[in-house]
Chain A
């Protein structure tokens, strides 16, 4: 059926955007949460600019982009799963000393307790 598509990944149309603005959601973050635009595999590459411009035209006010979060492009999870650093965050406590002697049977348990 006749649709003007703005976001191909999430099938968000110009009519969806107008409906969203009519309901009072006029900020790009709000529009993203309401319509789902920009949350698909392309993460807004194709739609952020056009939706931002369309929203600015509809509302007449300044528009700021939504927050850009990793990953910026589709990436096979195994590439990240292979990296021990990927499991740690900056504010995690320091890693337990791996040289600490442990019974082979208890190895898994003691690592968990140490973390």
Chain B
């Protein structure tokens, strides 16, 4: 079972009580709803859109759509990005009567081999019309809010010399270097607390992330946390980035743009990889280092062989926290077993490994959708784990005035990303100030 480590108690915020998927759980100020749910043993948060498979948090970074819940009456909120609060109510979605016991889960068994909605019941027009009626009743993600929004905050415009998108190792270093070089610098980061994968790295950890934030702000950079880049409009004002938090949208206009969005944790191709209890390895180390939450007592780590060294470091950290950890290459695993949540891993050699959490270490998939909107070229490569941003040796993308650094250009890890970010941030500042004079 997942549990809270006693030695982390002193660093926790004030305790709060909230309701998650029908259970009352205890959380602490500063934690997300999903973190409190995991620590409190709530395993199924919602059901999936099509097959009504049980779902829970996977990435803990707001990027995977695994933990979407109806929170305080608003649908489709990412439970891993909503802070705990006393009296907060988080309900499962796409489930009847509840996320834990969903009768529509039968869909997964009826369509055991998959469901092609293009050919479903198309042999008969009568059956097709009936099928459409049923599907329309069942489909859709969540239900509309009970009440209209009342607060409509104005949208301010920030005009800066260097805008950095992403506050991980690369982005914080880039913002610091740009600000130190004298450029008016703004950084937006989508997490509740910036620091990116630094906060999930057992060798670096939250203290290094806090230092990097302090160094960037001390140098004069302005940081907006929990603020996600949601769109780039090239036609307005020489290019406008829109970034939004839960409460406030902002326009950003910059002379130079630095993308330091890193990579997303992704799943590995094993059967039933979407079960609750299957998390990204980075999510588990993040929970451990940031909140003192251990995701399981018996943990199976499945890794891409290229990340073996990193996975070993993470496994050692989880062992030190008291878990039994088995580290395997992903090719050894066949299927993740369990009634709802993960209970065992079936191996290809026929053995079965009992566990209460499965952690997947895949190459992070580069977060290039923002730079792609700006017109930057990307390149698909196995080595990058997806479509990596194309940059030259200095970090220039294929679009003038747009730079890239860190894992968005392909996985490098936080230490190398920070060094690259510092170089690129300084170069972007020089370009911005040169253009100004």
Contacts and interface: CB of A to CB of B under 8 A. Distances in A.
Question: Chain B: interface residue count, which band?
Answer: 35 or more
B149 A11 contact: no
Given A1-B112, A45-B367, A46-B64, A76 B269 contact: no
B368 A9 contact: no
Nearest to B59: A46
Contact of B380 (A3, A8, A40, A56): A56
Contacts of A9: 49, 65
Contacts, number: 180
A79 B244 contact: yes
A79 B109 contact: no
Nearest to A46: B64
Contacts of B50: 10-11
Interface string A23-62: 0000000000010000011111111111011101000001
A108 interface: no
Interface string B366-397: 11111011000010101011110000000000
A8 B55 contact: yes
Contacts of A45: 63-64, 264, 365, 367, 369
B261 to A, nearest CB: 10
Contact of B154 (A54, A64, A72, A82): A82
12 contacts: A6-B269, A11-B50, A41-B65, A45-B369, A52-B380, A64-B380, A65-B380, A65-B387, A70-B231, A76-B74, A79-B248, A83-B155
A48 B366 CA distance: 10
Contacts of A90: 235-236
A47 B229 CA distance: 19
B116 interface: yes
B249 interface: yes
